[in-house]
Structure 1
């Protein structure tokens, strides 16, 4: 039985992959630990054949080698049961906003399916951890749970450790106030998925974080020569930048969001 206050299931998940490039790399293992409002925790783990070789240096990190997954189903074969297990859930994990969610969305887009995130709250225990105690998952587990993380970089071990870490973070920081960048005190961590989503996931426009919202709620670029400039302003003054991004090695989700902003601006002018 867990202590999280939930109105709907919260799916903790972790991916093991062939590498860290969202555009080019593939998933080889996924574990989902679904925390239910009644206190239950349902866990499922799938091994996946990525249809490309796993680099030796990557296999040495997570312990999954080509031989281990040569007979495993492909992502396309597992896409529907994975999506069904996520059905009706908000999302949680460690660094999911910068890596796991973009990687999962990208895998679905490759097979012409959509993994919907717009209607889900997202809670990233890493963001809370780095705000309150900047360190890694193993250190977070040691700090919050008082135990050593044995078998790190296994999807199931990391997923369940993150579940324990977030639960401990809520117990430790609920009621604790910190100062924002303007010196104003506020209570960032609450036992409420809406509040945790607001804390960890609301600035993003695309899942890779290439486009974010500024304090005025305007979409701005978060990288390169146009960093901190409004997307609509850049697209209007430098249309070639849109073409460059669409031809470049950016995630499909980023290109989709950029196109939505461009089309919205076009429709406003009509």
Structure 2
């Protein structure tokens, strides 16, 4: 570690039940703790999230319900986690937007403090974004070898966008050459998604909520235990397809 440290720095990563920092749960936590004197320690736990792990999440990280069945709940690790994260700064990749918010919510559930206002954050993804900006100007220079002189003029921008696409197709052999295949390349289809927005998806054959506080709960379960939540969806800005599915289950 080439960074100059004034207090311990914990680089960490989470594997979770999904991508919602405020409602999904940890299934794996790995960390390397660097100390100002040059020492480091490594830590890793597989965690029972206390809820089913969606197949889509298991397909990404390989952790299934069977694998966590006999593993500790996060609350069982309170002492170890308190020691690991006490008085430290935090680092990782995309930790600012995902891992730290999710960790803070999980810690609140088990009664552990995580003062994110006092923690300094080292985020390798943020450095990447600063040093390798993903703007049209940067893409035009990379794929076309030219400077975009009229950025933010609408016609100049769309002409540049076409040239960037042509440059990408020339550089990457696996970029498709038909609109349909290119759409699927950019926006892979989730075979378990029920609607285009992904608000509902099938989990083990049951149609489930895929957002918010009831993520992972089946419509059938909610129709019995929290029908008011489904009624709220019916009155809110959701697609007709989603609302039709809710009406069917509420009959």
* TM-score, reference length from structure 1: 0.48
Which SS does the other structure have where 2:70 is aligned? coil
Matches of 2:86 and 2:105 in 1, distance apart? 18
Query: SS where residue 19 of structure 2 aligns?
Result: coil
Q: Does 1:19 align with 2:46?
A: no
Say if 1:3 and 1:39, in contact at 8 Å, map to a contact too. Answer: no
Answer yes or no: is the 8 Å Cα contact 1:8–1:89 preserved in 2. Answer: yes
Native 8 Å contact 2:82 2:112 kept in 1: no
User: Partner of 1:62 in structure 2?
Assistant: 61
Residue number in structure 1 paired with 2:131:
132
Map 1:110-189 onto structure 2 (within 5 A). Answer: 110-133=109-132
CA distance in structure 1 between the partners assigned to 2:93 and 2:69 by the alignment:
28
Gaps in structure 1 of 5+ consecutive residues: 136-248, 251-270
Report how far residue 55 of structure 1 moved.
0.8
Distance 1:6 1:73 in 2: 32
Q: Which has the higher contact order (CA 8 A, sep 6+)?
A: 1
Contact in 2 for aligned 1:18/1:58 (Cα 8 Å):
yes
Q: Quote the residue 2:102 is aligned against.
A: 103
- Larger of the two Rg values belongs to structure: 2
Distance apart, 1:68 and its partner CA: 1.0
Q: Which ranges of structure 2 fall in alignment gaps of 5 or more residues? A: 135-211, 214-251
CA distance in 1, matches of 2:133, 2:57: 25
Corresponding residue for 1:36?
Answer: 35
- Aligned counterparts of 1:61 and 1:4: Cα–Cα separation in 2: 31
Deviations 1:129-174 (A, max 9, x none): 1111258xxxxxxxxxxxxxxxxxxxxxxxxxxxxxxxxxxxxxxx
Q: How far apart, in 2, do the equivalents of 1:7 and 1:22 lie?
A: 29
- Contact 1:105/1:115 (CA < 8 Å) preserved in 2? yes
SS at match of 1:92: strand
- Runs ≥4 in structure 1, deviation > 6 angstroms? none
Contact 1:16 1:30 in 2 (8 A): yes
Secondary structure of residue in 2 paired with 1:31: strand
Distance 1:4 1:113 in 2: 28
Superposed CA RMSD: 1.9
